[in-house]
Every structure is written in C-alpha cells, then in structure tokens.
Amino acid sequence: MTKKKKIVVFTGSGVSAESGISTFRGGNGLWANHRIEDICTPEALIYNRQEVIDFYNTRRKELLETTPNAAHYAITELEKHFDVQVITQNIDDLHERAGSKNITHLHGELRKLRSSKDETATIPFEDWEQKMETKHADGSLLRPFIVFFGESVPEFDKAMKIAQQADILLVIGTSLAVYPAASLVHCVPNSVPIYLVDPGEPNISGITNPLHHIKMNASEGVPKLVEMLIKEIE
C-alpha cells in the first residue's frame, strides 16, 4: 500500500471570517474597537478581569451561533486521501465541527478554560458564559484558554515539527504577519510546494519554495485546490 503524502494545512482568520466569526485584525477587526492592553494581556486579566471575561464570553456566544463553511469541509475531505495535519491560529472549533481530526491550536481554544496557575490544566467549556469567580480544581481562578500577548506559544514547537515533515503545505486565510506563527512557512523543506489561498497579498518575503497563490476567498479557493490535489493522485 502506497504511503499517503503528508499535507500540513496552516489556517488563519480568513477561514473563520466566512462563517461569520469576527476577525481581530484589519480595518473592521476587533482590535480597531478594543485596546489589546485592556483585554488580551496577563495584566488585563488581573486588573480588568470583568472586561476580559465579558470579551471572550461574547466571542464564545458568537461562535456557538456559527457553522463551518466550505473551506472547513474541503480540508476534512483531504483526510480521505492524504495524511493531514491542521495547524490553526484560530481559537474557534470550526475545524473540529467540520470533522478534521488532527488539529493544533497555536493561540488557544474558546471552548476550553484553563487554570491561572498551570497553562496545561484545561477543561472543556460547553456553555458560552464564564462566571467571574469560577475556580479550577487547583484553587486558582479559571481564565480563557487563550494565548495572550506577552505569553509564550506552548504549541509552537510541536507545530514546527509537524511543518518540517510536510510533503505539501497549504496556507489559507492568513496575512502571514503574526509571529511566531507566520514563521512556520519557513520550517518546511525548501522543495515542498506551498499553496497559498487568500484574496489579498500576504507577506511572502523570504519564501523560496515553489509557491502557488490562489487569489480567492477560502470558501471558494480551498474546495478548488482540494479537488485539484485529489485528482493529481488518482
């Protein structure tokens, strides 16, 4: 039996935006209306806890009202033909709901909470509204399972190792401007083809791999790309 090629799929906010998820960056992004220092730093969680909790409660409520789109389902379809690993900057669970199995979340997950003492001590959270004073079993206050500005990215080393094993890299809906996540495109071997799906002009400086830029939104471009990749191995 022929060994399946390994496809690594690196996704950003452009994938989730088409499902109605608010993006953080851009002219109408969440950071245009909120100060990062007020809601997305460890210090904010201490001195501005109510606003931080309310902000992520709103994001969680929004998430529960959305569904995966054609891009999410197309990525799932790849798993029937390739060994697929998804690395995402997104904190939603739309990849999971679409059926993807192997997902690494770089920036955390809205549908989980974590201990304030231990970043690995997470619990699933099915509701949308976190109460202010809810505590973890270790006695610390629960907080959103989100990597705040100024915090390390615990899953980045794992993501780097996954990227290094890629036979094909798909980069979908990301500006390649948020580090360290954006540096993953430089972790794949130089011979590995990179397929970029984004209607804009992501930062591709320094990429020397064979590069194919599909200038479409994710829900349109990803199904077309997946269909092409599957046909190539049939």
**Residues identified as active-site:** 107
Are 44 and 35 in contact by the 8 Å Cβ rule? The answer is no
H/E element, 11: strand 6-11
CA distance 125 to 118: 17
Any idea how long the chain is? 234
CA distance 105 to 87: 6
Are 114 and 46 in contact by the 8 Å Cβ rule? The answer is no
Burial of 153: CB neighbours in 10 Å, binned 0-12, 13-18, 19+: middle
DSSP designation for 185: G
Burial of 47: CB neighbours in 10 Å, binned 0-12, 13-18, 19+: exposed
CA distance 49 to 143: 9
Nearest to 100 by CA among 5, 221, 9, 194: 9
Nearest to 178 by CA among 109, 107, 108: 107
Chain position carrying tokens 């960056």: 25
